[in-house]
């Protein structure tokens, strides 16, 4: 690419004042001896004025947008009732019962029922406890898209492969406009908490991941 072509590429940011000082000095030096670029500069200034005017003609957002946002936050904000643990549920259940002896008997009954359930499940499935459940399709994951990811332009294919493997993710679509990929969590139970955790983990890989968020 010739020096002239390189300078021409920088002209819009020269006009908007968004060049690094060294680039700006370079453009200044070139323009000082090439006034034939004045027409381009004039066209750029003209374009910028028109784009600003065009944007300012866009009607202001309707009133009430903030109210709607806050209403949605109110709807989302209440913490989901914390799911009681198994032991807490037992305590709650037995707390309503009378004597310590009755509580002990009830607890023993629950333990027996749970143990029998495990034994029956193992017997029916022919599997050992701890083996994984697998659907006919070979995967427990849903077919939908969980996340959208944009990778940094300089991320290599190998780096992306390792990242996806580590996070147990699969690319199921893309690239979309802007280089976005549709991602499915292989091991996800689909809960909001798990998605948030994965998003947070990916967001920390800023050297590879440009953007990451839930799919709509």
Partner 1 sequence: MNQAASPAAAQDAALIERIAARDRLAIQALYGRYQVRLHRFITSLTRNEAIAEELTNETFMEIWRVAGNFEGRSAPSTWIFSIARFKTLSVLRKRSDAELDEDYAEGLEDDGDTPEESALKQDKAGLIRLCLEQLSAQHREVIDLVYYHEKSVKEVSEIAGVPENTVKTRMFHARKRLSELMQARGIDRGWP
* Interacting residues with partner 1 (CB under 8 A): 8-10, 12-13, 16-20, 39-40, 42-44, 46-48, 50-55, 58-62, 65-66, 68-70, 72-73, 76-77, 148, 150-151, 153-154, 176-180, 196, 199-200, 203-204, 206, 210-211, 213-216
Least gap, CB of 15 to partner 1 (angstroms): 9
Distances in Å between the Cα of 183 and the Cα atoms of 138, 166, 167, 197 are: 18, 14, 11, 15
- CB nearer to partner 1: give 51 or 84: 51
Least gap, CB of 130 to partner 1 (angstroms): 34
Least gap, CB of 164 to partner 1 (angstroms): 17
- CB nearer to partner 1: give 61 or 100: 61
Q: Name the DSSP class of 131.
A: P
CA dist 29 and 194 (Å) reads 55
Tokens of 185: 């969590």
Least gap, CB of 119 to partner 1 (angstroms): 43
Contact assessment for residue 163 and residue 210, using Cβ atoms and an 8 Å cutoff: no
- CB nearer to partner 1: give 141 or 180: 180
Tokens of 101: 């002896």
CA dist 193 and 188 (Å) reads 10
């Amino acid at each position: 690419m010739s020096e002239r072509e390189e300078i021409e590429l920088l002209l819009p940011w020269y006009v908007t004042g968004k060049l690094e000082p060294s680039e700006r000095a370079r453009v200044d030096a070139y323009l000082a001896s090439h006034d034939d670029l004045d027409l381009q500069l004039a066209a750029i200034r003209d374009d910028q004025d028109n784009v600003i005017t065009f944007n300012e003609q866009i009607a202001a957002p309707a009133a009430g947008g903030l109210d709607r946002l806050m209403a949605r936050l109110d709807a989302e904000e209440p913490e989901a009732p914390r799911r009681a643990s198994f032991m807490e549920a037992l305590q709650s259940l037995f707390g309503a019962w009378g004597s310590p002896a009755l509580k002990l008997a009830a607890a023993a009954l629950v333990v027996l029922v749970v143990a029998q359930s495990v034994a029956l499940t193992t017997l029916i499935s022919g599997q050992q406890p701890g083996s994984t459940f697998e659907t006919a399709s070979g995967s427990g994951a849903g077919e939908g898209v969980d996340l959208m990811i944009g990778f940094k332009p300089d991320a290599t294919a190998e780096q992306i492969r390792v990242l996806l493997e580590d996070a147990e993710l699969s690319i199921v679509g893309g690239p979309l406009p802007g280089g976005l990929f549709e991602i499915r969590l292989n091991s996800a139970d689909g809960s909001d908490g798990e998605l948030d955790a994965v998003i947070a983990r990916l967001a920390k890989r800023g050297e590879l991941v440009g953007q990451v968020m839930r799919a709509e």
